[in-house]
Amino acid sequence: MINCLLIDDEPLALQLLGDFVQKTPFLNLVGKFEDPFQALPVIESGGVDLIFLDIRMPDITGIEFFRSLVSKPEVIFTTAYSEYAIDGFELKAMDYLLKPVSYEKFVSAGNRVKEYLHRKAGGQTEQREYFFINVAHKLQKLYYRDILYLEGYKDYTKIYLVNATAPILILHSLKYFEDILDRNEFIRIHRSYIVPIGKVDTVSRKAVKIESAVLPVSDNYREAFFEVVDRLAK
């Protein structure tokens, strides 16, 4: 049984989610709140496995509220605004439910959490294989394994993908992705480039080649990059 908590400033949305929880055998409702701050004592008690959390609320966003939690349960964000989804990327949200939420989508997201918690209890957790990004006002699923490399320019990042004719342009700096990507898998080689180690075909002192792209390795990042290369070569 998954103990879940509902937070949404809209009473009708809160009631709908509550009805969905009551219909779902593996979910147990431990509380529902219009004010996220009133939910804090319940969350801090440690008895919450999952929060269904609205993003757009009057005093604090769901993103800000969840980020402020010391002990974080799993979270599924609910929102009427798809552009908020990428903001939850760094928080490793289990899913995003776009309003109006259907019961089918609700149960699907709940099952994903159930399977994850089951693996976690058995010590079989694994890194999530994908994340969602906002592209042209729609959420697009992006698999880590499909990333060839990332190229940054000021506040934007281009993500180059396997078998894609053009990169995806994201309104986030390269530093943002450097901070949230797994550093065992992705490494910065230049102020403008991050590469997935597994996609690098050849390495020279000043450049790497990934498929047809030749990317520079700058002096500032060379030592750290070659430490990783040397470790993998042993």
What one-letter code names the amino acid at 221?
Y
Average confidence (pLDDT) over 1-20: 96
- Here the tokens at position 54 are 């609205």
- Here the tokens at position 216 are 């520079």
Please say whether the structural domain 2-121 has been given the CATH code 3.40.50.2300.
yes
pLDDT more than 90, % of the chain? 63
Cβ neighbours of residue 117 closer than 8 Å, sequence gap 6 or more: 2, 49, 74
Q: Which of 83, 53, 80 is nearest to 65 (CA)?
A: 53
> For residues 113 and 50, is the Cβ–Cβ distance under 8 A?
yes
Please state the CATH superfamily assignment of the domain spanning residues 144-233 in this structure.
LytTr DNA-binding domain (2.40.50.1020)
Residue spans per domain, the chain? 2-121, 144-233
Query: Which conformational region is residue 123 in: left (phi greater than 0), alpha (psi within -120 to 50 degrees), or beta?
Result: left
User: What is the reported pLDDT for 91?
Assistant: 66
Catalogue the E-assigned strands of the chain. Answer: 2-7, 27-33, 50-54, 74-79, 95-98, 130-135, 138-143, 147-153, 156-161, 168-170, 186-190, 193-196, 202-203, 207-210, 213-216
Q: % helix / strand / coil in the chain, to the nearest 5?
A: 35, 30, 30
Whole-angstrom Cα distance, residue 118 to residue 73?
Answer: 14
pTM for the predicted model, two decimal places: 0.60
> For residues 196 and 149, is the Cβ–Cβ distance under 8 A?
yes
Whole-angstrom Cα distance, residue 36 to residue 33?
Answer: 6
Q: In what order do the strands lie in the sheet with 147-153?
A: 168-170, 156-161, 147-153, 193-196, 186-190
User: Who has greater pLDDT, 85 or 117?
Assistant: 117
Residue pLDDT, tens place only, 174-190: 988 887 788 788 999 99
Residue pLDDT, tens place only, 186-203: 999 999 999 999 999 999
Average confidence (pLDDT) over 31-41: 97
Band (pLDDT 50/70/90 cuts) for residue 115 is confident
